Structure 1
Amino acid sequence: MLVLATFLVALAGLSEAAPQSAHKVREAVHTPRDWIKLGAAPAEHVIPLRIALPQSNFDALERHLYEISDPEHARYGQHLSKEEVEELVAPHPHSLNAVNEWLAEHGIPESDCTRSPAQDWVTVRIPVSKAEAILDTKFHMWKHVVDDDVVLRTTSYSLPEHMHEHIEFVQPTTMFSRIKNHRTTFRWSEDQAISTESDGSTISLDYGEVDTSCNKTITLSCLKQLYNAVGYKASAKHGNEIGLTGYLEQNANLHDLQLFYQDQRPEAVNSTLKVTLINGGVNSQNTSEIGAEANLDVQFAAGQAYPAPATFWSTGGSPPYKADANTPSDSNEPYTEWLDYVLAQWKLPQTISTSYGDDEQTVPEAYAKRACAGFAQLGARGVSLMFSSGDAGVGDGDSDPTTQTCFTNDGRNVTRFIPSFPASCPYVTTVGGTYLVPEVAVPFSAGGFSNYFSRPHYQDFAVEEYLRKLPKGTYKGLYNPKGRAFPDVSAQGVNFRIFYKGRAGLIDGTSASSPAFAGIVSLLNDARLSHGLPPLGFLNPLLYSRGVHGFNDITKGNNPGCGTEGFNATVGWDPVTGLGTPNFGKLKEIVLSHYW
């Protein structure tokens, strides 16, 4: 009996000492294209690990989002509160407890954890050596062969098998995405095309006249003429606001903004811009640190929306950067950093524009879907989110459209069209580009079909109609016809007159299209709020139904890339210009219809 008792005690001890389950790979990626491994990461380097817990009731949040965004539904416009959204995405208590216990087992107390408002994200800052131990992996330094960016990453990591149901993913680990402002092109005012002087001649459109100077230079006045907003007077009395996001140490210069107002919006001179810094964001007003991208976004979006107050968020800690192996970048997840901040706020601008993104395939799918779910939370709270579609046609954003190889990075090296993210997220409104008067699709306007997100139901009719008209077999195997299609809409994207470092210049890109469209949306929100109606919130279900009649259909142009001519603009929706460009007058009538 004594021997048996001793055996049982020993067995119990072994059971207590044994792990609950062995490690199992949670995420793995192929060696990323254009990255080379430099060597082992420094063990003492501190890395911020962000742990994503499953959002227990996201399906219900999505259902709410579609109901309150559908103009045919009785709940249209009944947006959710901050607390209601957080309750729907909060992780299950079992997951919270399991993650807390797992971290405690590795000597990481609750006091060292930072949590998102809904507690669906946990962030811990730990040395690489500890991260390697808890993730059963090895971190290395990686350098991008084109830009020499250096990051600290791994190509796979593992978790105890019993933790897989409680942790969706951990980043930055396998993320080799490099968020970029879309490929804007800037030219100084010495270019003769900058002239905004009119000779008095106009171009006749169905809804009015557009000055011929708008064929060479786009100003606020041109956008009003092109998009039928001449004469509309916005108000500052009803709480309408607009927001712009900035990453990669892009600063909006306040002096340049005043010069822009003097040039194009005199009544806005001396108005203020609220700048909010997130996660080490910067707001340097030094001439050498001004960002043309940030100036573009702020000048045109805030200029159109005036007198609505404008906010510029500068989010830091995001980019891989030129560094050596001892000072790597260890974070490039700006969307979640920004989302953590804005979702914690009680009051948000009703309209927000972002002009940044990357190739969808460079973003781990789990991360892309989680960031997209964050955008859905904002939509449920009544925020309209615009993202530029990108500037590479149907190709990747790292090379000239005429020379793109467009290979997949899943180990197969298959030629495919390369969709953009976050443009491919179904919970945002993606904006492509046009140019000239009358408008045609600009060749760089990115568009296509997601490989991560399935087509949302609000797109079914429009996209199926487009695919039905596409000649059979066109680009077969190069795109996913069942994927979320983009862009949704478009706006001018060439020859925008901005001020940069005290001088006027011209800038191109869908980075211009997104704030241009956002400015129109802000005016629509102004109109609704002035009539006692709620803001528009998530736009797409409205745009693809009643809203389709409020767009100028763009039927000429294409978006080449990957050695092809890309897709063509055509009657109805197309993956170059979406539904078309906005007609503010018609859209205002639609959003103010009496039966709403």
Structure 2
Amino acid sequence: MRAALAISLLSAVVLGLASPTGLSNLKVKESVSSPRGWIQGTRAPADHSIELKIALPQPNFNVLEKHLYEVSDPSHSRYGQHLSKEAVEELVAPHATSIQLVNAWLSSHGFEEGDFSRSPAKDWITLRVPAVLAEKMLDTTFHVWTHEESGDAVIRTLSYSLPESLHEHIDLIQPTTMFARMKKQKTTFRWSEKQATSAAAPGSKIQLSNGISVDASCNETVTITCLKELYNAVGFEPSAKNGNQIGITGYLEQFANLEDLKLFFADQNPAAVNSSFKFVSINGGQNSQNVSEAGAEADLDTQFAFGLTFPTPATFFSTAGMPPFIPDIGTPTDSNEPYTTWLDFVLAQSVVPQTISTSYGDDEQTVPVNFAQRVCNGFAQLGARGTTLMFSSGDGGVGDGDPDPATQQCFTNDGRNATQFLAGFPASCPFVTAVGGTIHVPEVAVSFSGGGFSKTFSRPAYQNAAVEDFLQNKLPKGRYAGLFNPNGRAFPDVSAQADNFRIFFQGSPGLIGGTSASSPTFAGFVSLLNSARLSAGKPPLGFLNPLLYSTGELGFNDITIGNNPGCGTPGFNATEGWDPVTGLGTPNFAKLRGIVLSV
């Protein structure tokens, strides 16, 4: 009887939605202020193709989150019991009512099931439509918006509407109101005759307070050998046969050149010279092997992550997305930032690398809150399945991502133009591990290390004690009041060396720096820990942060010197314990190995 009544009610709602009254009762779903630094231009060409991504609610995400924390907490009986792909999809699936109502709405605009695609969990719908139809569906007008500084152009709107009866069945539709500009996290790439010499020549040793001995040359040039010495991993050999894998993401046409990788291996890890990586193209992503098109970011990420973990099987994901729109040419695609494209692909795979590093990010305030939350939820799904995700914390200190403090624009993007420290996304997502940066031996915080507090995400329980200790006991009372959200998710979580990395780029050696170096570095050591666990018959680490902020704290080198200036301030200071410059510190692999093998 109840089932029959439910079906009857649903039919009535669908019929009501399909009626002229149901469709005409439009209400604004989302609106934003005119974004700082963007200029509105002409109306979008009517035939311009827009790929809309429609997010349906995930009513049971709180249950998934509960599972995630249980399998990631080393003190919980379920630690390491990660969920299957199918179990995760079931937990994020929308209600049947939402699916049917959205189907009815799409049908009213002439779409059939074969005209769009769904994610495996059916929580995302992707369809490509001409701008004129998108305007009709969303009761809005799209314009060409141009970014003043870069000249990049996108098609966006400041608001869109949906039938009021659909608001609880659609979380968001993008790209509509999102003016994010995905950026590589990279500060410097420079050359000199001195830097082009071989990295193999030994020098005198630096004796650290923890008993570790590091070659003195590591103060000027960072190599794989330097990192293994500094982070106490000399002599550990990962297995190529225990199922462990490591992945690197590539965006914005950053190509990882195989000849550069071979030169790097010959220089720093000769045993790996004849090895390579698996290339995976997503959404038409390319990986040109024309040496002149090699990407410094992609070369850095793959050379150090894969060099540290050889012979662990490695994957480079190349995801296309967010090309500039050129009105006079009529570029056929205009996508939102491609994290969702990557997530759509990876979440659909049965096997995913246990460790993945990303060296790209946006200013958090440029990413609509509901969109950031849905992307973050996607990262949580991977964590629940046993994958550890590392993201660079950013290269602008407490500023807007610009590594030059003199040119930072630390203003809110909500029409108030208020001065504020600006967090980076996805580093601010509580379901990823954000990696800040250090420099020199002994280590100090590197000045550009991104760190601070999110405005979008509240502080997760796993870091409450560490962050409260910093706010109450390490930060002078009243300092920077109003410039940051003390209740927000704090980052970075950890750090690693972030400057003077010796790579090969377009056939020549040189030095590069940025948290785009620290993230793949830290990921490399996480992969080594995963190798140790898998060889011992244990599951991979998965979502790492609950471990890091509990028993894992004992496995880090605390960094207490340095700061991360920005926004016309000295920024935060590195202190004893966690701080928003270097997080918990840098890894001591031997200690961490003992910790992760004991849980």
TM-score w.r.t. length of structure 1: 0.95
Going from structure 1 to structure 2, the CA distance change for 1:139 and 1:191 (only over 3 Å counts) comes to farther
Measure, in 2, the Cα distance between the counterparts of 1:321 and 1:197.
46
Deviation at 1:200, TM superposition (A): 3.2
Partner of 2:551: 546
Stretches of 4+ moved more than 6 A in 1?
none
Query: Which residue of 154, 170, 174 maps to 1:171?
Result: 174
Mapped pair 1:132 → 2:135: yes
Deviation at 1:453, TM superposition (A): 0.2
Query: Which residue of 211, 214, 220 maps to 1:216?
Result: 220
Query: Which residue of 87, 90, 94 maps to 1:87?
Result: 90
User: Per-residue CA shift, 1:125-154, capped at 9, x if unaligned?
Assistant: 111010000100000001111111011110
Partner of 1:497: 502
Measure, in 1, the Cα distance between the counterparts of 2:322 and 2:232.
38
Mapped pair 1:112 → 2:104: no
Measure, in 2, the Cα distance between the counterparts of 1:111 and 1:403.
49
Partner of 1:54: 57
Deviation at 1:55, TM superposition (A): 0.9
Segment of structure 1 superposing worse, 525-534 or 193-202: 193-202
Amino acid at match of 1:64: H
The answer to whether the Cα contact below 8 Å between 2:196 and 2:509 also exists between their aligned partners in 1 is: no
Amino acid at match of 2:558: D
Query: Which residue of 397, 414, 419 maps to 1:415?
Result: 419
Amino acid at match of 1:150: A
Deviation at 1:318, TM superposition (A): 2.7
Query: Which residue of 417, 436, 439 maps to 1:432?
Result: 436
Partner of 1:486: 491
Q: Specify the SS of the correspondent of 1:111.
A: helix
Q: Specify the SS of the correspondent of 2:406.
A: coil
Q: Specify the SS of the correspondent of 1:25.
A: strand
Amino acid at match of 1:336: T
Deviation at 1:288, TM superposition (A): 2.2
Measure, in 1, the Cα distance between the counterparts of 2:42 and 2:142.
9
The answer to whether the Cα contact below 8 Å between 1:260 and 1:499 also exists between their aligned partners in 2 is: yes
User: Per-residue CA shift, 1:485-539, capped at 9, x if unaligned?
Assistant: 0000000000000011111110000000000000000000000000000000000
Measure, in 2, the Cα distance between the counterparts of 1:194 and 1:542.
41
Deviation at 1:197, TM superposition (A): 5.2
User: Per-residue CA shift, 1:196-239, capped at 9, x if unaligned?
Assistant: 35453111111320000000000000000010000111111201
Deviation at 1:16, TM superposition (A): 4.8
1:343-492 matched pairs, under 5 angstroms:
343-398=347-402, 400-469=404-473, 470-492=475-497
Deviation at 1:400, TM superposition (A): 2.3
Measure, in 1, the Cα distance between the counterparts of 2:98 and 2:313.
40
1:174-185 matched pairs, under 5 angstroms:
174-185=177-188
Deviation at 1:468, TM superposition (A): 0.8
Partner of 1:153: 156
Mapped pair 1:512 → 2:517: yes
Measure, in 1, the Cα distance between the counterparts of 2:516 and 2:356.
13
The answer to whether the Cα contact below 8 Å between 1:342 and 1:348 also exists between their aligned partners in 2 is: yes
Partner of 2:6: none
User: Per-residue CA shift, 1:312-340, capped at 9, x if unaligned?
Assistant: 00000234366657437621321000000
Mapped pair 1:26 → 2:35: no
Measure, in 2, the Cα distance between the counterparts of 1:178 and 1:79.
34
Mapped pair 1:565 → 2:574: no
Deviation at 1:184, TM superposition (A): 3.2
The answer to whether the Cα contact below 8 Å between 1:150 and 1:328 also exists between their aligned partners in 2 is: no
Gaps of 5+ in 1: 1-11
The answer to whether the Cα contact below 8 Å between 2:395 and 2:402 also exists between their aligned partners in 1 is: no
Deviation at 1:287, TM superposition (A): 1.9
Identity over aligned pairs, percent: 67
Going from structure 1 to structure 2, the CA distance change for 1:196 and 1:321 (only over 3 Å counts) comes to farther
Amino acid at match of 1:372: C
Measure, in 2, the Cα distance between the counterparts of 1:328 and 1:436.
47
The answer to whether the Cα contact below 8 Å between 2:187 and 2:403 also exists between their aligned partners in 1 is: no
Going from structure 1 to structure 2, the CA distance change for 1:253 and 1:474 (only over 3 Å counts) comes to same
The answer to whether the Cα contact below 8 Å between 2:325 and 2:331 also exists between their aligned partners in 1 is: no
Measure, in 2, the Cα distance between the counterparts of 1:467 and 1:132.
47
Measure, in 1, the Cα distance between the counterparts of 2:341 and 2:440.
38
Q: Specify the SS of the correspondent of 1:165.
A: helix
User: Per-residue CA shift, 1:24-77, capped at 9, x if unaligned?
Assistant: 111111111111111100001111110000012100000000000000000000
Mapped pair 1:257 → 2:256: no
The answer to whether the Cα contact below 8 Å between 2:392 and 2:518 also exists between their aligned partners in 1 is: yes
Going from structure 1 to structure 2, the CA distance change for 1:399 and 1:326 (only over 3 Å counts) comes to farther
Amino acid at match of 2:344: D
Query: Which residue of 341, 344, 347 maps to 1:337?
Result: 341
Q: Specify the SS of the correspondent of 1:571.
A: coil
Deviation at 1:189, TM superposition (A): 4.7
Deviation at 1:18, TM superposition (A): 2.6
Partner of 2:231: 227
Deviation at 1:258, TM superposition (A): 0.7
Deviation at 1:349, TM superposition (A): 0.6
Deviation at 1:405, TM superposition (A): 3.3
Q: CA RMSD in A?
A: 1.6
Partner of 1:40: 43
User: Per-residue CA shift, 1:334-391, capped at 9, x if unaligned?
Assistant: 1000000000000011000000001100111111000000000000000000000000
Mapped pair 1:207 → 2:211: yes
The answer to whether the Cα contact below 8 Å between 1:54 and 1:168 also exists between their aligned partners in 2 is: yes
Partner of 2:3: none
Mapped pair 1:103 → 2:69: no
Amino acid at match of 1:149: D
The answer to whether the Cα contact below 8 Å between 2:403 and 2:448 also exists between their aligned partners in 1 is: no
Partner of 2:241: 237
The answer to whether the Cα contact below 8 Å between 1:204 and 1:210 also exists between their aligned partners in 2 is: yes
Measure, in 1, the Cα distance between the counterparts of 2:19 and 2:239.
67
Going from structure 1 to structure 2, the CA distance change for 1:132 and 1:194 (only over 3 Å counts) comes to farther
User: Per-residue CA shift, 1:222-262, capped at 9, x if unaligned?
Assistant: 00001000011111120110000000011100111111111
Q: Specify the SS of the correspondent of 1:146.
A: coil
Going from structure 1 to structure 2, the CA distance change for 1:31 and 1:325 (only over 3 Å counts) comes to farther
The answer to whether the Cα contact below 8 Å between 2:22 and 2:165 also exists between their aligned partners in 1 is: no
Measure, in 2, the Cα distance between the counterparts of 1:227 and 1:331.
40
Measure, in 2, the Cα distance between the counterparts of 1:517 and 1:316.
25
Gaps of 5+ in 2: 1-14
Segment of structure 1 superposing worse, 203-212 or 314-323: 314-323
Partner of 1:532: 537
The answer to whether the Cα contact below 8 Å between 2:395 and 2:514 also exists between their aligned partners in 1 is: yes
TM-score w.r.t. length of structure 2: 0.95
